[in-house]
């Protein structure tokens, strides 16, 4: 390995490879943060990987009452897909099933100045079966959909921005407990504005590669190079000596810069929390247009 060292952590001389994605940002409010969080968790469920879930989504951040359009506690959610239409479809499905249904919620567009939009309330209003109504407030149209508890208020459309998906860090340590602790510390440091970490708790243990060695029909299969138990079974292992567990943190961000700085925060947090080894996953640089070399993240945030 010819990377560098941060404390006791070896940083591999490699890079994360990421792709352009489109994203929407929604602000879900409710009578309490608890209910806003319930809706946000439900909406971002089963959205870990675009390969299997058609989108990647996560809670971005909690918002105080002073930061939301209706003055109630809120949760900002980011949802990524491969194209604008994909974002629109997934947002419509998920708001319809997970936010409209959740007590006391309202749903607002978190990207009001985006160049592109996709319909949300404009489509969802039909649930109102003709009893729905709309109001234009401050130049923006909102739909009022009558429900059993009162009314669900939802924005007419959502902005769709250009983001970056698939940034990542891979964190290894001598045992699973140490690797997980370091990965958790990294996640804690990485979460924030403009960032979605779509896997459970922000961490994925089943990093994948494109395609498979044994099948032509699989879109993805286990990353055998980073599986410690296969260290001697494969010729191209990337698991260093002394490392017995690795976790990946996949990052979707609203910009290349957001992903880079998120990786920087995560790398240094992992090093400070006992990681033995930090590396990143890529596809040889042939598939993704965004490359994030770990050597560029040496400076602490």
DSSP label at residue 204: B
Q: Contact at 8 Å (CB) between 160 and 112?
A: no
Min dist. Cβ of residue 72 to other proteins (A)? 8
Q: Is 211 in the site for other proteins (CB under 8 A)?
A: no
Q: Per rule CB under 8 A, is residue 71 in the interface with other proteins?
A: yes
Residue 65 interacts with other proteins (CB under 8 A)?
no
> Would you count residue 247 as binding other proteins (CB under 8 A)?
no
186 to 70, 121, 145, 166, 295: CA distances (angstroms): 33, 37, 41, 16, 17
The SS3 call for residue 169 is strand
- Decide if residue 201 touches other proteins (CB under 8 A): no
Residue of 11, 50, 55, 69 interacting with other proteins (CB under 8 A): 69
Nearest C-alpha neighbor of 202 from the set 186, 221, 220: 186
User: Can you state the angle between helices 256-272 and 176-190, rounded to 10 degrees?
Assistant: 140
200 binds other proteins (CB under 8 A): no
Give the nearest distance from C-beta 208 to other proteins in angstroms.
42
Task: Pick from 42, 67, 89, 151 the residue near other proteins by CB under 8 A.
Answer: 151
Contact window for other proteins (CB under 8 A) among 34-42, 78-86, 151-159, 224-232:
151-159
- Tally Cβ neighbours within 10 Å of residue 201: 12
Minimum CB distance to other proteins smaller for 81 or for 158 = 158
Contacting range for other proteins; rule: CB under 8 A; set: 48-56, 66-74, 215-223, 278-286? 66-74
Using CB under 8 A, which residues numbered 127 to 146 contact other proteins?
133, 135-138, 142, 144
d(CA 253, CA 169): 14
In 3D space, the residue among 3, 14, 53, 81 whose CA is nearest the CA of residue 252 turns out to be 81
Half-sphere exposure of 90 (CA within 13 A, CB side): 29
Whether 118 and 157 have beta carbons less than 8 Å apart is answered as yes
Task: For residue 30, state whether it binds other proteins (rule: CB under 8 A).
Answer: no
Residues of this chain that interact with other proteins (CB under 8 A) are 69-71, 106, 133, 135-138, 142, 144, 149-153
């Amino acid at each position: 390995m010819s990377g560098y060292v941060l404390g006791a952590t070896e940083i591999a001389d490699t890079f994360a490879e990421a792709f352009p994605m489109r994203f929407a940002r929604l602000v879900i409010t409710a009578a309490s943060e608890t209910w806003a969080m319930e809706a946000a968790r439900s909406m971002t469920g089963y959205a870990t990987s675009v390969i299997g879930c058609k989108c990647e989504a996560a809670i971005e951040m909690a918002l105080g009452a002073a930061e939301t359009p209706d003055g109630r506690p809120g949760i900002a959610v980011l949802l990524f897909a491969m194209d604008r239409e994909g974002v629109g479809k997934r947002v419509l499905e998920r708001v319809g099933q997970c936010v409209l249904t959740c007590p006391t919620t309202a749903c607002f567009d978190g990207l009001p100045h985006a160049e592109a939009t996709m319909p949300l309330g404009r489509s969802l209003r039909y649930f109102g079966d003709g009893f729905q109504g709309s109001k234009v407030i401050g130049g923006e149209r909102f739909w009022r959909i009558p429900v059993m508890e009162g009314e669900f208020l939802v924005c007419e459309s959502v902005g769709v921005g250009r983001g970056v998906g698939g940034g990542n860090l891979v964190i290894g340590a001598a045992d699973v407990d140490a690797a997980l602790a370091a990965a958790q510390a990294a996640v804690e440091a990485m979460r924030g504005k403009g960032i979605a970490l779509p896997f459970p708790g922000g961490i994925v243990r089943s990093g994948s590669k494109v395609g498979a060695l044994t099948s032509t029909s699989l879109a993805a299969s286990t990353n055998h190079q980073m599986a410690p138990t296969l260290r001697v079974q494969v010729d191209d292992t990337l698991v260093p000596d002394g490392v017995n567990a690795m976790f990946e943190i996949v990052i979707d961000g609203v910009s290349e810069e957001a992903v880079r700085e998120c990786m920087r925060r995560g790398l240094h947090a992992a090093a400070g929390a006992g990681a033995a080894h930090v590396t990143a996953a890529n596809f040889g640089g042939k598939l993704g247009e965004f490359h994030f070399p770990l050597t560029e993240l040496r400076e602490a945030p």
